[in-house]
Amino acid sequence: MKQQFDLAGHPHIALCDLLKLAGLAESGGRAKQLIAEGKVLRNQQPETRKTAKIVVGDNIRLGDSEINVINSEL
């Protein structure tokens, strides 16, 4: 499943928060667990920093799900 996440004028979002808000993790704790297990890719590279700053243009992948980060206010 592909989706877009709009930062809506914000400079970045923490990876764990993004996974939760995008519906890929039921909770922040689950998001942090998935990240720690190395299951999350950022721009095709494993990302293990739970609060990594995700910015416009980043591509996040978890299993079959993919999030493209945009900013409609730019």
14-72 pLDDT tens trace: 999 999 999 999 999 999 999 999 999 999 999 999 999 999 999 999 999 999 999 98
At 73, the pLDDT band (50, 70, 90 cuts) reads confident
3-state SS string for 9-36: CCCCEEHHHHHHHCCCCCCHHHHHHHHH
The confidence score (pLDDT) of residue 32 equals: 97
Query: Taking the domains of the chain in order of start, what are their residue ranges?
Result: 2-70
Q: Is 74's pLDDT higher than 80?
A: no
The highest-level CATH class for domain 2-70 is alpha beta
Mean pLDDT of all residues in 1-13: 95
